[in-house]
Amino acid sequence: MAIPPSWIVKTGRSIWTQIWQLMMSQLAPPNDRGEYQRPPSEFRHRIEGKYAPQPRRYRLYVGWSCPWAHRTLVVRALKGLEDAIEIIILEGDANAGGWKLPKSEHDCQTLAQLYRFAVPEYRGRSTVPMLWDTDTYSIVNNESAEIIEILNSEFNDYAKHPELDLAPIALQDSIAQWNETIYQTVNNGVYRCGFAQTQAAYDKAATDLFATLDRVNDLLATQAYLCGDSLTLADIRLFTTLIRFDVVYHHLFKCNRRRIQDYPHIQAYLTKIYQLPGVAATCNFPTILQDYYGNLFPLNPGGIIPQLPDLSYLG
């Protein structure tokens, strides 16, 4: 069969480019260089004052596919807070424009409606994870980096593993340094690759991403974790991006220079964390695949969901 006439190709490309740019401006707002700019979280309360650390008072709203929400699930599992902190698993729905609740709450069917139930004038992003106070019907926090700190330290009286400290004082400077590097170049770095709207923006993001992965692989040849011999919150923050890398980011986000399986020391590190008690149960690979490929329409307009890659190395 002959290819379409050139005028059809040019017209189709022009129309699709304009539509793509419009959709991407809403999905992933860029700066003037086409670089993705992740908006900051807006609810930043801690467990203090009116928010007392009580069991079964707080809920975590999460989605299986979201790496930021996944951090909170991993820390909750490692600390043994399943009986103290309830989780509500949401469904990503592109047609609904966000996360759907599994059942109606306060006459709300979506997370966006629940945000506005708590703060009627709120018009910002309705993201997961979100820590909710069932006593005051209010949003405590929706910044994953802070929620995992809260789970690590504020509910030890109700944790099955209170002795586990993922942010010991002696390592906090090292944790903070790795958190900054990991966030900029890996956690958000894969999104900077996938959501780049210029070639220059993509090239910079991809270069930064793989430079950090190379550095991490070299480091893990000589020590067990990022900050030495102890698992920390920095490792959890890295883990939830790494576990999605070969499944999603390698292909869909154009992070295709290498797979995690091509880094021997990172692969061993990833497997070690995955095999910690409770962690594997937080990794829902079919939903991760479905949500990324099914809901990020601008990146996968055909809607084809690929098959899962071979993950047998995780054990």
pLDDT in tens, 265-296: 999 999 999 999 999 999 999 999 999 999 99
| Residue 44: per-residue pLDDT | 97
If we measure between CA atoms, which residue out of 105, 183, 109 comes closest to residue 148?
A: 183
Q: Which residues are catalytic?
A: 66, 191
| Residue 2: per-residue pLDDT | 63
3-state secondary structure at position 35 = coil
3-state secondary structure at position 180 = helix
| Residue 1: per-residue pLDDT | 55
| Residue 20: per-residue pLDDT | 65
| Residue 16: per-residue pLDDT | 67
Check the CA dihedral 127-133-136-142 and report its sign: negative
200/202 Cα distance (integer angstroms): 5
Tracing tokens 């090239």 back to the chain, one arrives at 203
Question: pTM value?
Answer: 0.94
If we measure between CA atoms, which residue out of 129, 13, 248, 19 comes closest to residue 27?
A: 19
CB atoms within 10 A of CB 169: 7
254/13 Cα distance (integer angstroms): 20
For 150-177, what is the HEC assignment?
A: HHHHCCHHHCCCCCCCCCCHHHHHHHHH
Per-residue tokens: 45: 């309360």
pLDDT in tens, 107-130: 999 999 999 999 999 999 999 999
Contact between 233 and 187 (Cβ < 8 Å): no
Tracing tokens 């190379």 back to the chain, one arrives at 214
211/15 Cα distance (integer angstroms): 36
Residues in the chain, pLDDT under 50: none
| Residue 86: per-residue pLDDT | 98
Q: Which domains does the chain have, with CATH numbers?
A: 58-158 (3.40.30.10), 169-314 (1.20.1050.10)
